[in-house]
Amino acid sequence: MASWIEIKEDSDFSLRNLPYGVFSTDGPKPPRIGIAIGDHVLDMSVLAADGVFDDIGFDVKTITGETTLNSYAAQGKDVHSKVRKRLQDLLEKETKLGSLLRDNQGRRARALVPMNSVKMHLPMAIGDYTDFFIGLHHAVICADVIKPGAKIEQLCPCFYNLPVAYNGRASSVVVSGTPFHRPRGQVPVENGQIVSGPCRKLDFEVEFACFIGKGNAFGQEIKVDQAEEHIFGFVLMNDWSARDIQFYEAPMMGPFNGKSFCTSVSPWVVPLDALEPFRTLPSETPMKRLLADYLTGKKTKSAYNIPIKATLEANSERYDIATCNTNNVIFSFPQMLAHHTRGGCPLRPGDLVATGTLSGPTKAESGCFFEQTRGGKEPYELKALKMGKGSVQRGFLEDNDTVEFRAQVSLGDGLGNVGFGVCGGKVLPAL
Amino acid sequence: MASWIEIKEDSDFSLRNLPYGVFSTDGPKPPRIGIAIGDHVLDMSVLAADGVFDDIGFDVKTITGETTLNSYAAQGKDVHSKVRKRLQDLLEKETKLGSLLRDNQGRRARALVPMNSVKMHLPMAIGDYTDFFIGLHHAVICADVIKPGAKIEQLCPCFYNLPVAYNGRASSVVVSGTPFHRPRGQVPVENGQIVSGPCRKLDFEVEFACFIGKGNAFGQEIKVDQAEEHIFGFVLMNDWSARDIQFYEAPMMGPFNGKSFCTSVSPWVVPLDALEPFRTLPSETPMKRLLADYLTGKKTKSAYNIPIKATLEANSERYDIATCNTNNVIFSFPQMLAHHTRGGCPLRPGDLVATGTLSGPTKAESGCFFEQTRGGKEPYELKALKMGKGSVQRGFLEDNDTVEFRAQVSLGDGLGNVGFGVCGGKVLPAL
């Protein structure tokens, strides 16, 4: 799968990947759909307008006429697989379709945009955003931090029986690179006085999320074995959290302002097909469990083995926070979608569905400071990525900290990586 | 405020009201924006296209080119007040603008549509839907049902200090008249076995909600004293709830599938201006409380005195459930919006923001069966609205039950009512 376009060995964007994004360039052209390939963005609107997809059998206006991926995602998996095949055929070194792109200098110049010249946008208009809570170690450790000695099934009796979730705030989801101000909010009363001001326990959360392609009708469930038909692709997600605000407001109704100030996603939506080689089993639960029929599917390798690396940048130095993995979950995406729609709730193209924090069992695998520092009580030492550059301590995030997530997988055959680009954001001081 | 259009004495839609909705008629015309007046819908797209609003100074394409109210709502309160004034001038008996509508037979025929010939649609594309929990008696009674003897501030320490809320599911909000199937879901394990099936504790909730007009930018709060500038108008809302599913899933993350199968809203958005005469104070809290600065506004009469009547229809007979009131709240809409945006969360035109259940202190004022029947344990007797037609008992809702909410207020001067139309829905058997 070598390409006639130069793809560096460490690139996230090999021919195996071909993730979708929405980009713009300087000038009057509105944002448009592109594909990441090496250090370039392939402008899909140029190819679609030039008829390169005309024989595939879908409405190319879902590419040429749109500033988000929603309409294209709604076309369904068959179309996406055919377009993906066409793109690989166009881009591979020994392409038989050379005249369509490689050997057409004019079209190449219009269609291939250097990645360092583009601005990325939120790839989809998000109708609803759902955040699950299916990370095994995250739940187990958080339970113990919240109430020392407590097991998660004591705090949340359904935890092992169904994929727990809450509705997040769609309007505050932003694309990687968007900075945000430390949120203000209310925290528990001190000395009989209301306490209102900037968050004192600002945290990140390492998550993995899918965007919905084809939706389901009001009242109709999605069966677990058909659920992958509804997944368009995946992104990395940082569910920034204000722990002090969250824990004060959440006892009856769950998280609200503690989460709704910012949620960051990586800009490139990696197709389901690109992750096929990286399937694995979800985590085992500590005790044997029964599952309801609607959660019991045929496909066993329904999770993915993708390490996600989190780093902190402070004072121009980068530090290692942790490496999580998308397989630290006790339910799969198909199970999440089956549960989500079990009562008839409609999912729509562009909806964002996330896993919750993907911690492993050790501190070096913990996906938030809340776990690493036991609620801020035990500051954690982050080592610099560059040898000899020392370390910094954090209880929670400080102003001007930048947190970034990266994930890249390969088959080790030298034929290219599947990566997500950066999911990053910077904490600005409170207003 | 008499009109040259006949408005029956008991009509919801006097000249004082003029609520906005989205309607369609048989034929090829797409859904369009209308105003309810007596037994008619005034087609705003006809008036706008004919130039009737041209001197008001806003983009009339926000009416003529749209199938929802979002773009029009985003124009802001000044525009809405001017358009309202123009509509009252057009429709009042002694109109000075007779040539624009009353005396123009052709335009009248095109613009005035009998209400019984229209189909109503969801008035706005809802980006996010937020449900608050600010009903005083609802919270107090529910706390005691959940844990006999418990006070709400024990279960939810912040209850009196900030307006508690959760994010609802925007995709499952439907317009009045849309039936839904009893949801299926998981409930607590019985005898070591997973229990999954149709909800056994299906409930309604009497709520009041606003649609957002002008939004706020990411990171920017809305100040409590400016918050009404962001409110487009109000609807009645039924937050249908599956209590067994809800209480099993909610301990850590709040309600999810217990609420996301259906939420009904009345079709007519009653403008803020129409409710001006019905202002009142929010409820007193049982103990004196301090409020954070961001929740402390100048306007004291920030709630509304609007009784909402809930009825049940079963076997072709209608029964009285309860009469709630929009003033049974301990926070106002401006306080809700100020809190919602305090951390920088963006509200967007079309967002739906609801109060939570509006129960009064007695069973006859309780806005859900959960309160009336103490969680289903004490069946409640509903009396028929027609004398001599007996009564029915309910613990929770049964299949084929229809629940409807109505609200109508007037100044008692014979010059017309402000009502909301019906907010109703029917429970179909589980699939």
State whether B196 and A166 contact (CB < 8 Å).
Answer: no
- From chain A, the residues in CB contact with B164 under 8 A are 249, 252-253, 256
Q: Is residue A11 part of a domain?
A: no
Q: Is residue B5 part of a domain?
A: no
Claim to verify: residue A117 and residue A138 sit in the same structural domain: no
Binding site feature residues of B for Mg(2+): 239, 259, 263
- The span from the CA of B81 to the CA of B253, in Å, is 41
Claim to verify: residue B109 and residue B255 sit in the same structural domain: no
Buried b (16+ CB within 10 A) or exposed e, B246-284: bbbbbbbbbbbbbbbbbbbbbbbbbbbbbbeebeeebbe
Q: What is the mean pLDDT of residues B165-186?
A: 98
- The span from the CA of B199 to the CA of B250, in Å, is 15
Where among A91, A121, A151 does a domain terminate?
A: A121
- The span from the CA of B369 to the CA of B355, in Å, is 18
Give per-residue pLDDT as tens, A223-257: 999 999 999 999 999 999 999 999 999 999 999 99
Tracing tokens 């001017």 back to the chain, one arrives at B82
pLDDT above 70 covers a percentage of chain B that reads 100
Whether the predicted pLDDT of A262 surpasses 80? yes
CATH code, domain with B317: 3.90.850.10
- The span from the CA of B326 to the CA of B278, in Å, is 11
- The span from the CA of A177 to the CA of A313, in Å, is 13
Q: Is residue B400 part of a domain?
A: yes
> Which residue type sits at B123?
P
Measured between CB atoms, which of B172, B185, B245 is closest to A218? B172
Task: State chain B's mean pLDDT as an integer.
Answer: 97
Grouping H, G, I as helix, E, B as strand and the rest as coil, residue B116 is helix
Residue B342 has a pLDDT of 98
Q: What is the mean pLDDT of residues A302-314?
A: 97
Claim to verify: residue A103 and residue A140 sit in the same structural domain: no
State whether B253 and A133 contact (CB < 8 Å).
Answer: yes
Beta strands in A267-401 (DSSP E): 270-271, 279-280, 303-304, 307-314, 317-325, 352-354, 380-383, 391-394
Residues sharing a CB contact under 8 Å with residue B192, sequence separation 6 or more, in sequence order: none
Claim to verify: residue A107 and residue A256 sit in the same structural domain: no
What residues are paired with A220 via a beta bridge?
A: none
And the tokens for A253?
A: 């109704």
Where among A121, A148, A174 does a domain terminate?
A: A121
Residue B411 has a pLDDT of 94
> Which residue type sits at A427?
V
N residues, chain B? 431
> Which residue type sits at A201?
K
Give per-residue pLDDT as tens, B308-317: 999 999 999 9
Q: What is the mean pLDDT of residues B113-138?
A: 98
Q: Is residue B377 part of a domain?
A: yes
Claim to verify: residue A91 and residue A203 sit in the same structural domain: no
Q: Is residue B10 part of a domain?
A: no
Give burial (CB, 10 Å; 0-12/13-18/19+) of B118. buried
Q: What is the mean pLDDT of residues A409-414?
A: 92
Give per-residue pLDDT as tens, B79-122: 999 999 999 999 999 999 999 999 999 999 999 999 999 999 99
Domain range for B327 is 129-428
Where among B121, B145, B164 does a domain terminate?
A: B121
Give burial (CB, 10 Å; 0-12/13-18/19+) of A92. middle
ipTM: 0.97
Claim to verify: residue B323 and residue B404 sit in the same structural domain: yes
Claim to verify: residue A334 and residue A419 sit in the same structural domain: yes
State whether B344 and A127 contact (CB < 8 Å).
Answer: no
Claim to verify: residue A54 and residue A181 sit in the same structural domain: no
Residue of chain A nearest B291, judged by CA positions: A194
Claim to verify: residue B325 and residue B392 sit in the same structural domain: yes
Q: In which band, very low, low, confident or very high, does the pLDDT at A414 lie, cut at 50, 70 and 90?
A: confident
Claim to verify: residue A149 and residue A98 sit in the same structural domain: no
Measured between CB atoms, which of A186, A255, A342 is closest to B185? A342
Tracing tokens 């909806």 back to the chain, one arrives at A351
Measured between CB atoms, which of B158, B169, B251 is closest to A156? B251
Residue to test with chain A: of B180, B256, B263, B351, most A Cβ within 10 A: B256
Measured between CB atoms, which of B164, B253, B261 is closest to A166? B253
Q: Is residue A83 part of a domain?
A: yes
Claim to verify: residue B115 and residue B160 sit in the same structural domain: no
Claim to verify: residue A112 and residue A137 sit in the same structural domain: no
Q: Is residue A14 part of a domain?
A: no
CATH code, domain with A30: 2.30.30.230
State whether B431 and A156 contact (CB < 8 Å).
Answer: no
And the tokens for B213?
A: 């007009």
Compute the radius of gyration of chain B from its Cα atoms: 22
And the tokens for B339?
A: 């809190």
How many angstroms separate the CA of residue B244 from the nearest CA in chain A?
12
Instruction: Check A40, A80, A138, A339 and give the catalytic one.
Output: A138
Residue of chain A nearest B163, judged by CA positions: A249
State whether B340 and A184 contact (CB < 8 Å).
Answer: no
Q: In which band, very low, low, confident or very high, does the pLDDT at B1 lie, cut at 50, 70 and 90?
A: confident
Residue A309 has a pLDDT of 98
The tally of domains found in chain B comes to 2
Q: Is residue A109 part of a domain?
A: yes
